[in-house]
Amino acid sequence: MTENLPETIMGMDAEQGRWLLVFLGMLINLCLGTIYSWSVFVAPLTSFFTNDLGLVVTAGDILLPFSVFLAFFALTMSFAGKYIEQYGPRNVTIAGGILTGLGWLLASFATSVPMLYVLYGIIGGVGVGIAYGVPVAVAARWFPDRRGLAVGMTLLGFGFSAFFTANIAGYLIGVYGVMTTFRIFGIAFVILTVLLALPLKFPQAGWKPAGWTPPVPAPGQAVSCEFRRDEMLKTTSFYGLWACYFIACLAGLMAVGIAKPVGSEIGIEAELATVLVGIFAIFNGFGRPVFGTLTDKLTPRTTAMVSFVLIAFVSILLWQVPAVPIYILAFVVLWGCLGGWLAIAPTTTGCFFGTSDYPRCYGILFLAYGAGAIAGPQLAGFIKTSTGSYLGVFPIVMILAVIGFVIAFALVKPPKVPEKD
């Protein structure tokens, strides 16, 4: 029988100190999540390249670094997990934070749009991909008793980031210009992530919260820490979860990208639309601990199905009744469910496949986010071009949500114990 081992975190008892690690993870993600503020940079960058450098660029050209960043973010996540175990959460976070900051800093010297793709999109995206999974893995390991809540709180910073950093970026751009703002953000992110990463660590083997007993698995189901990544890839549970994650991210990231233009289509003034996007970001942030807690209280399958019911309902409602109150409700739910899935998916990974190979397991699952990030905006652009309106997106989202509901019901279940050779 495994007994608790003495643990302290920054001089505090582990029972209290582990909440400090959640808070530090939240702040790290606040820095990493600045990518969601990219829309603030589009117009100033277009003006800089056009007026200052005399280049011919469009807003569409300047939007591409956002997709490049997200793509390399997701790809790197799938490979970086094993290094968290090898080098420890502190060192991996520092490496990722430095690369993220360098991406922003070097982007300030870009003299062409392709340079921006490389310096910001690739370097910055790789940096976030390295660091992003660390606070999640730390929270999952320290909170076997409240995994969903802890993971959701850690990811709250990523969801809230746009609310804070977009306003900061807007102010700095107005005072110092867009390239100096890149420089300021880059230096700040290097300093902050390095300092915030110093206390990060995993608990010792065998540690568990006082008075907590791991739940007894049902007959035929896996026990905690049972699956390695190759074993996970042989289960239908993984593919069901991946498909649901992809559908939710596709719908949610479309909502992130088209929130303001959809508001304009139904008659909302530009200034109010900007304010509403900030409000939607708040719900995106709170969606993480809310759905993380629901995943703890309910089953992952039930929580997934609830999210798809909400997505389908507001999508068909906005399509049929494109009014301002319906628009606000729909985008609150869509942004909130996107944030929710960024807690549901990592929490379910820990619940279904354990924590011994968690970073590598969740890294593969996170490719669904990258696929959704690429497919969502592309689909929205195609529908806009084909129909002349972004409102045509929502019946498609409703259909996808129904498919997600069916997949969740059929496949998002605890996997069977793998057979050992």
pLDDT the model gives residue 106: 96
- As to burial, measured by CB atoms within 10 angstroms (0-12 exposed, 13-18 middle, 19+ buried), residue 11 is exposed
| Residue range 248-274, pLDDT digits in tens | 998 888 777 777 778 878 888 867 876
Secondary structure of the chain as H, E, C letters = CCCCCCCEECCEEHHHHHHHHHHHHHHHHHHHHHHHHHHHHHHHHHHHHHHHCCCCCCHHHHHHHHHHHHHHHHHHHHHHHHHHHHHCHHHHHHHHHHHHHHHHHHHCCCCCHHHHHHHHHHHHHHHHHHHHHHHHHHHHHHCCCCHHHHHHHHHHHHHHHHHHHHHHHHHHHHHHCHHHHHHHHHHHHHHHHHHHHCCCCCCCCCCCCCCCCCCCCCCCECCCCCCCHHHHCCCHHHHHHHHHHHHHHHHHHHHHHHHHHHHHHCCCCHHHHHHHHHHHHHHHHHHHHHHHHHHHHCCHHHHHHHHHHHHHHHHHHHHHCCCHHHHHHHHHHHHHHHHHHHHHHHHHHHHHHCCCCHHHHHHHHCHHHHHHHHHHHHHHHHHHHHHCCHHHHHHHHHHHHHHHHHHHHHHCCCCECCCCC
User: What is the band of 369 on the pLDDT scale with cuts at 50, 70, 90?
Assistant: confident
pLDDT higher for 22 or 10? Answer: 22
pLDDT the model gives residue 1: 40
User: What is the band of 242 on the pLDDT scale with cuts at 50, 70, 90?
Assistant: very high
Percentage of the chain exceeding pLDDT 90: 37
The amino acid sitting at 129 is G
Q: Which among 160, 223, 235, 259 has a CA at the least distance from the CA of 412? A: 235
- Give the domains, in start order, of the chain with CATH numbers: 9-197 (1.20.1250.20), 229-411 (1.20.1250.20)
Q: Do residues 17 and 9 make contact, with C-beta atoms less than 8 angstroms apart?
A: yes
pLDDT the model gives residue 371: 86
Q: Is the confidence at residue 421, as pLDDT, over 60? A: no
Rounded Cα distance between 78 and 371, Å, is: 12
Rounded Cα distance between 354 and 51, Å, is: 54
| Residue range 63-122, pLDDT digits in tens | 778 778 888 988 888 788 778 888 999 999 999 999 999 999 999 999 988 999 999 999
> How high is the mean pLDDT of the chain?
85
| Residue range 128-143, pLDDT digits in tens | 999 988 998 899 888 8
Q: Is the confidence at residue 199, as pLDDT, over 70? A: yes
Most confident range, picked from 34-38, 210-214, 364-368:
364-368
User: What is the band of 225 on the pLDDT scale with cuts at 50, 70, 90?
Assistant: very low
Q: Is the confidence at residue 5, as pLDDT, over 60? A: no
Q: Is the confidence at residue 247, as pLDDT, over 90? A: yes
Q: Is the confidence at residue 377, as pLDDT, over 80? A: no
- As to burial, measured by CB atoms within 10 angstroms (0-12 exposed, 13-18 middle, 19+ buried), residue 385 is exposed
Q: Do residues 80 and 133 make contact, with C-beta atoms less than 8 angstroms apart?
A: yes
Q: Is the confidence at residue 305, as pLDDT, over 80? A: yes
pLDDT the model gives residue 59: 58
User: What is the band of 221 on the pLDDT scale with cuts at 50, 70, 90?
Assistant: very low
**Contact partners, residue 343, CB within 8 Å, separation at least 6:** 148, 151, 152, 155, 287, 288, 289, 291, 292, 295
| Residue range 154-171, pLDDT digits in tens | 888 887 887 788 778 888
Q: Is the confidence at residue 224, as pLDDT, over 70? A: no
Rounded Cα distance between 146 and 150, Å, is: 6
Q: Do residues 337 and 253 make contact, with C-beta atoms less than 8 angstroms apart?
A: no
pLDDT higher for 334 or 78? Answer: 334
User: What is the band of 20 on the pLDDT scale with cuts at 50, 70, 90?
Assistant: very high
pTM: 0.76
pLDDT higher for 370 or 240? Answer: 240
